[in-house]
Chains A and B, each alone.
Chain A
């Protein structure tokens, strides 16, 4: 066995140990350790990715001494390693970018607790990405929820408490459904490891047995994970949770946490139930319809939002809609587009949040639009970052968002005929709506006249860490926009490794 094959397990355990060690530490020391750990995890995930690409196939790492079908396993393929690398990198950027905000908004004796939560969150994200066992998936989904809730409520304002409560209630409903789905799945297949469950599933479908329980399992698991990731009718917690927590939490929650559930869902679709069975069950059509509604309604709410954070948060609902729409197209191209959009959104949304924070820092920490007038001149880097993030979300060529939309549109042409027209129309409408609110804000921050008097001569520079994080995210956006072909090939081969 190659030494690199240990890295997925190492990175999960490393994050957990770091979380435990942070307990007695002071805030600054915990911060240093967390940043080191996240950097190490990024490098290890990158090494795993390069290793998987060099061998050209996925590998399975047995946890403990029991072999399949009883033991617990980690599985790493191209897609898993890519996602782990990107997630760890985005986590690093979000932490660096929001560091001064963390130290300003969180009580001093609680700062080390914040870093415990981020460590736990990263370990659960990695475990959800890598795990090959359904119940392990459930346990880490819950750890993810608890850590995310802690990251919202650590800022002690009334708003963030209520946001955390709403988030928790919706999440618990989602995980309850997911858990009963798993119990039923185990009931009819007799396995928890993904491959073994899939084999049993294929046998069941061939024999035509347990068709109704199977349908119940598929729908309950899908709905559960869709609720947790904030698909349209279950999105009510998102604007509050993203709009009122400390900025690193908003970036991490919107960029990574809600995505991890979608990734688990995609893994279950491909590796447990089998994508043809999923397509035959028609559940993807449900996701497709709600994805489309979410794309429009999220953007409409964003247009009406009163402050810039809430606007970005509502835009997340639309972007989650895009991802589900891609899955709902029920083709491989649609799935590639969905995964690409997961990555696009994971790098763009933290960029927008960090930029918005920079702009509001230059406007006396206010976040309503009139205070932000002309703020791009008061904090040039944040202005540039907001510009790049907005253009990417709208879908301007050379940026990652453009490739996402291109992939969605091409995938739509290959989907079943009833979906082609409606996808293209909604894609166009949603793009126009995106342009409306994002460009409106961009124009506002670049309009020097009419800026509030007291901020006329304010000049704010981002701290070195924040500037590095923002520049890194801008760069990633251009890299994904200009060199998309290798990345889509990588995603395609990763999805190929699923089966």
Chain B
């Protein structure tokens, strides 16, 4: 258990961060904090992927000084996945932020419970 734990310390950190982001996204009532949680969750996955693809002592997978030997570079696929994932999470964050702006303009609150109460009051009127 001990040596395994130390060898995978990046992955463990990533999973803990994932848990932090996940609970924030699920349980927090404040929209902005939810979005922060979402970003922590996504970033944790990228840390996981990047740590997984890293090989000690090798270079980033960009051809440098004409060296074409694959042994000189780390696995490029996880890096590619991280880049794709970042694009996805940027667009999702933008969508969530635009939703938040619309909700705030309509109900003047960022708190989801508060928003629900105001919506019900508005419907009763």
Q: Name A residues whose Cβ lies closer than 8 Å to a Cβ of B.
A: 135, 138-139, 142, 145-146, 149-150, 153, 158-159, 161-162, 164-165, 168-169, 172-173, 176-177, 179-180, 183-184, 186-187, 192
The total of interchain contacts (Cβ-Cβ below 8 angstroms) comes to: 80
Interface of B is mostly: helix
Residues of the B chain whose Cβ atoms lie less than 8 Å from the Cβ of A138: 88
Q: Is the CB of B106 within 8 A of A173?
A: no
Within 8 A of A (CB), among B26-60: 26, 31, 34, 38, 41-42, 44-45, 48-49, 52
> Known contacts A168-B92, A172-B92, A179-B42; can you find 18 more A-B pairs with CB under 8 A?
A135-B84, A139-B88, A146-B91, A158-B106, A158-B122, A161-B99, A162-B115, A162-B116, A165-B31, A165-B99, A165-B112, A168-B99, A172-B25, A172-B96, A176-B22, A180-B18, A183-B48, A187-B48
How many residues of chain B have a CB within 8 Å of chain A? 36
Residues of B within 8 A of A192 (CB): 77
The one of B34, B49, B91 in contact with A183, judged by C-beta atoms closer than 8 angstroms, is: B49
Tell whether, in the assembled complex, residue A159 and residue B119 are in contact, meaning their CB atoms are under 8 Å apart: yes
**CB-based closest 4 A-B pairs:** A142-B88, A176-B41, A158-B119, A183-B48
The interface of chain B, by Cβ under 8 A from chain A, is 15, 18, 21-22, 25-26, 31, 34, 38, 41-42, 44-45, 48-49, 52, 77-78, 81, 84-85, 88, 91-92, 95-96, 99, 102-103, 106-107, 112, 115-116, 119, 122
Interface pair A176/B119, CB less than 8 Å apart: no
**Assembled-state Cα–Cα distance A138/B92 (Å):** 13
Quick check: A168 and B95 within 8 Å, CB to CB? yes
19 A-B residue contacts at CB 8 Å? Answer: A139-B88, A142-B88, A142-B91, A146-B95, A162-B103, A162-B119, A165-B31, A165-B103, A169-B25, A169-B26, A172-B38, A172-B92, A176-B25, A176-B45, A180-B44, A180-B45, A186-B81, A187-B52, A192-B77
B38: chain A residues within 8 A (beta carbon): 172, 176
The answer to whether A169 and B34 have CB atoms under 8 Å apart is yes
Q: What A residues does B103 contact at CB under 8 A?
A: 161-162, 165
Establish whether residues B92 and A146, one from each chain, have CB atoms under 8 Å apart when the complex forms.
yes
Q: What is the chain B residue whose CB lies nearest that of A184? A: B48
Task: Give CA–CA (A403, B106) in the complex, Å.
Answer: 47
- State A159–B106 Cα separation when bound (angstroms): 11
Report B43 CB to chain A, min CB distance, Å: 11
Partner of B26, one of A158, A173, A184: A173
Q: Is the CB of B102 within 8 A of A161?
A: yes
Chain A residue at minimum C-beta to C-beta distance from B89: A142
- Whose C-beta in chain B lies nearest to the C-beta of A159? B119
